[in-house]
């Protein structure tokens, strides 16, 4: 390879001319070392987008759940029955109670009650990562509470008779915070499975 400035004959792999120091145009290949991804990382994160995790700025998510909507669905069914009953009564006694159109409006308005609890449930999310448990709540004013797994002292599953029949329950978590408050994951489907997952992750950190 001849230098384009002085004409000196250089090796084909030379980056600079050995006589005048002029760059020969050969590109320098740079390798960037990154932290290896864990084997159990979800497939959707095994991509270029996983770079924040490689840099230690993010953690693998173990689970992310919301309270069950079972009671909300039951509320919708009961509300629909009540609305139909109200319209039927109004139709039978239109001149004695309320007009039919007003009964229809009232029937639709009572759906606000289950809709309120539906939104309230959807605004709560429990997320377990490699080192902490996060509780997100709120719509306009969103708050996030993080509980380090190393500070959790006890995990208990509590379920009433009705909850046991429906396969749901509450996961109560004692943490070693200054205020000594408990963290409760309310109305969780298969609560024992999530409690066991939390305990397994706590044991991994202890090793």
Least confidently predicted of 13-27, 43-57, 64-78, 181-195? 43-57
Contact assessment for residue 165 and residue 133, using Cβ atoms and an 8 Å cutoff: no
Calpha distance 66→179 (Å, rounded): 25
Predicted pLDDT at 46: 42
pLDDT at residue 119 above 70? Answer: yes
136-175 tens-digit pLDDT: 988 777 788 888 998 888 899 999 998 889 899 999 998 8
pLDDT at residue 196 greater than cutoff 90: yes
Q: Are 186 and 121 in contact (CB under 8 A)?
A: no
The C-alpha atoms of residue 173 and residue 193 are separated, in whole angstroms, by 15
State the chain's mean pLDDT as an integer.
Answer: 77
Q: What would the pLDDT profile of 75-113 be if each residue is shown by its tens digit? A: 999 999 998 888 888 777 765 666 777 878 888 899 999
**pLDDT tens figures, 14-31:** 666 767 767 666 443 333
> Which range, of 54-63, 135-144, 171-180, averages the lowest pLDDT?
54-63
Residue 116 has pLDDT above 60, yes or no: yes
Sign of CA dihedral 27, 32, 38, 43: negative
Q: Which two tokens stand for residue 86?
A: 């109200």
Q: Identify the burial level of 198 via C-beta atoms within 10 angstroms of its C-beta, where 0-12 means exposed, 13-18 middle and 19 or more buried.
A: buried
């Amino acid at each position: 390879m001849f230098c384009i400035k002085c004409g000196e004959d250089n090796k084909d792999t030379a980056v600079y001319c050995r006589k005048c120091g002029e760059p020969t145009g050969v590109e320098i290949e740079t390798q960037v070392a990154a932290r290896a991804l864990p084997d159990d990382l979800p497939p959707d994160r095994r991509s270029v987008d996983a770079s924040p995790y490689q840099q230690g700025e993010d953690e693998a998510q173990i689970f992310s759940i919301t309270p069950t909507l079972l009671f909300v669905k039951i509320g919708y069914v009961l509300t629909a029955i009540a609305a139909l009953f109200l319209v039927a009564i109004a139709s039978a006694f239109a001149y004695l109670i309320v007009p039919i159109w007003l009964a229809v409006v009232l029937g639709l308005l009572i759906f606000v009650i289950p809709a309120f609890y539906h939104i309230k449930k959807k605004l709560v999310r429990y997320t377990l990562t490699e080192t902490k448990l996060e509780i997100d709540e709120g719509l306009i004013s969103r708050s996030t509470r993080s509980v380090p797994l190393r500070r959790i002292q006890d995990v208990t599953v509590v379920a009433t008779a009705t909850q046991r029949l429906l396969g749901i329950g509450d996961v109560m978590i004692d943490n070693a915070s200054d205020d000594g408050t408990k963290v409760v994951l309310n109305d969780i489907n298969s609560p024992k499975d999530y409690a066991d997952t939390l305990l397994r992750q706590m044991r991994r950190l202890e090793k």
